[in-house]
Structure 1
């Protein structure tokens, strides 16, 4: 039986300790601050990143180097026959398409999955891939199945400040100024391909309520019928905020869907570049039954 390794990137929100416990491999993503490059989980603290962002530093996400990616694949293939690599969605980064191009050098031994997910939805994809690998699926089969199920998830995100959406060109300065004055929080959605605005709210509590309403609508429509091999899971994602606030939002979300298995993961610095601290996301994800 072929040994298939499962690999992801740090945008999955999986910590290094979790990756070790799950037996998956992690590629840590680079972050640029004032032209200095840092690597997530290696030489930068989350608090430092957001302090620099708040001070107005030039903060941008970046793709991993060709060498770091291919060297990692070469090391893994010394122990495994095949690799399934699950990076963040191609809709938010060019790293997925780049990895697909590099994988051609490995004669089919490396299968790169573009299943259009991020953070907690990406985490569930990794878990499904690990389960399939344990059951004996080959790398290509795992890739095909994950991509077929790519859109079986909904995620809604709101931000605490409009400053970074404006900086990234997603909203105009005038909209950002008016929104800040009126405490307007946009509700954004990722339904596979891209990040879109779907609602607006006055304040974080109202934004959370609207996101939950969207989830309930999806629960009653998109996810009304799920086959016996799958189940629906609930997810929470967030950028830098206090543990007290994270616990509060977890509890509030679980109260709305008490019967669903629950998972949470941070929106890492690559996403924090665009949304800033205090961003909150909620999700419904179809996952394989264990």
Structure 2
């Protein structure tokens, strides 16, 4: 039986220690400012991207890896006798998924399995972590894919955006909404449902108050949350993420709380000082309750 190697794209924000531990392959997206294109995670990081936003005065665009990029990434693993399970960012948000399918058809049938995570950032990372653990236990790519096709619908992601600036620059919030949001100190919650990013509740007040409120709202349904692991993604919010981690571990019986760093692909939409939390539900989603 061939060993299974897990691949993901850079918007999954998979941390380097997971990459090293599970030999995860990452296919990067591109971050594009006007005519200049940067390879995500290799040629640019989130802090550098924020600096360029200040210089150019507008947000970058993200570009999907081409089929050729996927072929180049997949070929060494296939030649080494490994089967591949590629876990894509949501197919509703990018052509990344379709490009990976095109690339997979260039290899012998059955060697590459492609799964749409229907998620991004910490939500996609949760799919990748679950897959990597199963692959390390000797499970086949098809077994892992079929298991995740059900589990992915239970993986929730809530994103706390620090302010409306990036959503405004990206055309997702109008000028009046942006002005009122700034005056009222509104921080919106985004969530992922059926592979699409939607707007949820909007919290008001200080960052500390908002983070506590978000955690309280989520943990009020702790009996419906899987206790194995939670993933927190942060960008320029290391201390807050650590505080959230300690709060969850002290107040619940969750066994592991992982902290990962949000990369350029997701941060070009959410902006700096954003936080995201991903968890697995045991039953129907609770995002609509938040």
Q: Same fold (TM over 0.5)?
A: yes
**Structure 1: runs of 5 or more not aligned:** none
Q: CA deviation at 1:26?
A: 1.6
Q: Which runs of 5+ in 2 are unaligned?
A: 283-290
Q: Distance in 1 between matches of 2:215 and 2:187?
A: 15
Higher deviation after alignment, 24-33 or 186-195: 186-195
Q: 2:138 aligns with which of 136, 158, 177?
A: 136
Alpha-carbon spacing, 1:191–1:263, altered in 2? closer, same or farther (3 Å) = farther
What is the alpha-carbon distance in structure 2 between the residues aligned to residue 199 and residue 286 of structure 1? Answer: 20
Give CA deviations for 1:64-114 in whole Å, capped at 9, x if unaligned: 122111111112101134110012222332212321233233223111111
Change (3 A) 1:175 1:254: farther
Q: Which residue of 1 aligns with 2:232?
A: 236
Decide whether aligned partners of structure 1 residues 265 and 286 sit closer, same or farther in structure 2, where only a CA change above 3 A counts. farther
Q: Distance in 1 between matches of 2:71 and 2:105?
A: 11
Could you say which residue in structure 1 is the equivalent of 2:287?
A: none
**Residue-by-residue CA offset, 1:139-183 (whole Å, 9 max, x unaligned):** 222211111111122221111120111222322221111101111
Residue 215 of structure 2 corresponds to residue 212 of structure 1: yes
Please name the residue that 1:80 is paired with: 81
Report which stretch shifted further, 89-98 or 143-152.
89-98
CA contact (8 A) 1:154 1:215 kept: no
Identify the residue that residue 273 of structure 1 maps to in structure 2: 268
Q: Which stretch of the first structure deviates more once superposed, 77-86 or 54-63?
A: 54-63
Distance 1:247 1:133, change over 3 A: closer
Question: CA separation in 1, counterparts of 2:193 and 2:75?
Answer: 34
Shift in Å, 1:258: 5.0
CA separation in 1, counterparts of 2:80 and 2:13?
25
Equivalent position SS for 1:105? coil
**Segment drifting more, 44-53 vs 174-183:** 44-53
Partners of 1:169 and 1:58 lie apart in 2 by 10
Contact 2:46/2:262 (CA < 8 Å) preserved in 1? Answer: no
155-164 or 255-264, which deviates more: 255-264
Distance (Å, rounded) in 1 between the aligned partners of 2:195 and 2:238: 31
Describe the SS at the equivalent of 1:150.
helix
Deviation at 1:30, TM superposition (A): 1.4
Confirm or deny: 8 A CA contact 2:65 2:99 kept in the other structure: no
Matched residues in 1 for 2:85 and 2:230: separation?
A: 25
1:247 corresponds in structure 2 to 242
1:87-106 matches, cutoff 5 A:
87-106=88-107
Does 2:60 align with 1:59? Answer: yes
- The equivalent position to 1:283 in structure 2, one of 251, 257, 278, is 278
Number of aligned residues: 279
Residue of structure 2 in register with 1:173 after alignment? 175
